[in-house]
Structure 1
Amino acid sequence: MPELSTNATHTTPVEEPLISPWKEGWKNFKKNKAAVFGLGLVFFFILIAIFANVLAPYDYTETGDKHLPPSATHWFGTDDLGRDILSRVIFGARISLAVGFLSVIGSAIVGSFLGIIAGYYGRIVDGIISRIFDILLAFPSILLAIAIVAMLGPSLFNALIAIAIINIPTFGRLVRSRVLTVKEEEYIIAAKAIGMGDGRILLHHVFPNSMAPIIVQGSLAIASAIIEAAALGFLGLGAQPPTPEWGKMLADSKDFILQAPWTVIFPGLAIMLTVLGFNLMGDGLRDALDPRMKN
């Protein structure tokens, strides 16, 4: 009896390598041209802030001829005290970015901590913290910032504190909603089942899985913080003379907008481009890191 031969070939499935969510997010981010442009603007102003001492052609307090128009000597012209506007805009980048980053870092830390506690423990703790957030959100943000600075006294540091406080509820509510979802996941239930303490669960599981929305909101909040700092500076409640803060520069130049428009144009452009960069980058991060935005 002839032997039966089978030529059937068996194909073994090839497992695709796992890609880190952060690597996948960066890959998606690079596809967004507007987001990459925004990231470039942000890095541009960060470099200007870091190397302000090297890039500024003059000391930002040095005075000379008043209201000189833009020229080869003074690229952005001079203000009403004869100070070089380019130098003040360059040093102003350091002030505005510092206020933006530090205030958002502070509000993100406090808001995330309160949001994690409220979302994870719920009940009475959640009710108390959520009511605090509701009270802070009941006030218009800029009016609340003005009230805080008015109580503490006008200064750049107090403006930073005020901006941090008014942004705490935004981070808190965002993280709370994320934690409410994460704590119902199977790996959290399994961690509780094996006796893992709440501290370890929050630190090793809940917080890392809540990072993506914090990063997205942080990038957008920096843009808002820069505008709020400029608004407080414009009202005389932020940076005090001779600090070259962009909002304060606009306030000092508002009476000369027709006589010397360059004194308003260049600080205004600096604010606009910086905020535009953070907004474009934040939108790109949201599209890249938010699973709901993926096809």
Structure 2
Amino acid sequence: MAEIIQNRVQRIKEERVKGPWQEAWTNFKKSKSALFGSAIVLFFVLLAIFGPLFAPQGINEQNLSMRLQPPSADFWFGTDDLGRDIFSRILHGARISLTVGLSAVLISAVAGSFLGIIAGYYGRWVDTIISRIFDIMLAFPSILLAIAIVSILGPSLQNALIAIAVINIPNFGRLIRSRVLSIKEEEYIHAAKAIGMKNSRILWKHILPNSMTPVIVQGTLAIATAIIEAAALGFLGLGAEAPQPEWGKMLADARMFLMNAPWAMIFPGLAIMLTVIGFNLMGDGLRDALDPKMKS
């Protein structure tokens, strides 16, 4: 009898219903491309944290006698036009690019989510004003709007971060607004209002937690876009300034030597490409794992 009860308990444990996040993690692990993208992201995150500690040379250490040297045992990725070690600069540049991407997306996600929740929950003239602001911002190509903002604020890495954050606010705002419009019609929201719960508590306890899934997915994909935009601004001379080893700035500095020293552009370009691919693959995996419509 005891053995029968034990077997039944074991069966119940194995068949118990998984929580939403546990189920999402199980679905995420089934995607090989998502795991591959996560491995790339983890690699570059570790590179950004610990890479500069193992850089063979300083990022601004110049040796004009060794300028434009091809990859070798002494200089794994070669040297640039000032004799600086490209490998060391890429290691330091990983921290800059990831910091800009993560910080810009975090700012835009917080600001966009706040505006989207307010617009979707309160509606009427509040929704009209916020939605029209989003429409005006989205009417401009994102990179042109970023260039305009940086031109007004002045070229610098910090201003480039602000510009990237601003141009991504409408994407998060419109996304979470559409989510709130459907959530606020649910029965448990009406029940919360009926018992006299304050709007602020409803927004914080019910609306916000149930609106985070699309924001997480969009945020992961937006990091890849932010890294590209930061590199584009750096390439145009509107982002990082010399001697900062930002990947886009490194591409701009090396474009004059493309024919003579292609490695000076190839390796920063590969770093940007791999980072963006990693975040895109991970974002696609999160979308498939968290979106009920994508589940098989």
For the aligned pair, the TM-score class normalised by the smaller chain equals over 0.9
In structure 2, distance between residues paired with 1:62 and 1:223: 30
In structure 1, distance between residues paired with 2:285 and 2:133: 31
For these two proteins, the number of residue pairs brought into alignment is: 284
| SS of alignment partner, residue 242 of structure 2 | coil
Report what 1:240 is aligned to. 241
What TM-score does the superposition give when structure 1 sets the normalisation length?
0.94
Q: Deviations over 1:39-75 (max 9, x none)?
A: 0000000000001332211111001110011000000
Check if 1:167 corresponds to 2:189: no
In structure 2, distance between residues paired with 1:279 and 1:55: 28
Aligned 1:168-187 pairs, distance under 5 A: 168-187=169-188
In structure 2, distance between residues paired with 1:252 and 1:54: 24
Q: Is the 8 A contact 2:69 2:79 kept in 1?
A: yes
Q: Is the 8 A contact 1:48 1:55 kept in 2?
A: no
In structure 2, distance between residues paired with 1:74 and 1:111: 44
| SS of alignment partner, residue 51 of structure 1 | helix
Report what 2:116 is aligned to. 115
| SS of alignment partner, residue 67 of structure 1 | coil
In structure 1, distance between residues paired with 2:285 and 2:213: 12
Aligned 1:1-295 pairs, distance under 5 A: 16-64=15-63, 65-295=66-296
Q: Which amino acid aligns with 1:73?
A: D
| SS of alignment partner, residue 143 of structure 2 | helix
RMSD of Structure 2 on Structure 1 (CA): 1.3
Q: Deviations over 1:199-244 (max 9, x none)?
A: 1100010000011100000000000000000000000000000000
Q: Is the 8 A contact 1:155 1:237 kept in 2?
A: yes
Q: Greater helix percent: which structure?
A: 2
Larger Rg: 1
In structure 1, distance between residues paired with 2:148 and 2:53: 38
Q: Is the 8 A contact 2:59 2:92 kept in 1?
A: yes
Gap regions ≥5 residues in structure 1: 1-13
What TM-score does the superposition give when structure 2 sets the normalisation length?
0.94
Gap regions ≥5 residues in structure 2: 1-11
In structure 1, distance between residues paired with 2:56 and 2:48: 14
User: What percentage of residue pairs aligned between the two structures are identical?
Assistant: 71
Q: Deviations over 1:186-211 (max 9, x none)?
A: 11111111111101100010000011
Q: Which amino acid aligns with 1:233?
A: G
Structure 1 runs of 4+ aligned residues shifted over 4 Å read none
In structure 1, distance between residues paired with 2:166 and 2:218: 15
Q: Which amino acid aligns with 1:61?
A: N
Q: Deviations over 1:87-107 (max 9, x none)?
A: 001100000000000000000
Q: Which amino acid aligns with 2:183?
A: V
In structure 2, distance between residues paired with 1:183 and 1:129: 18
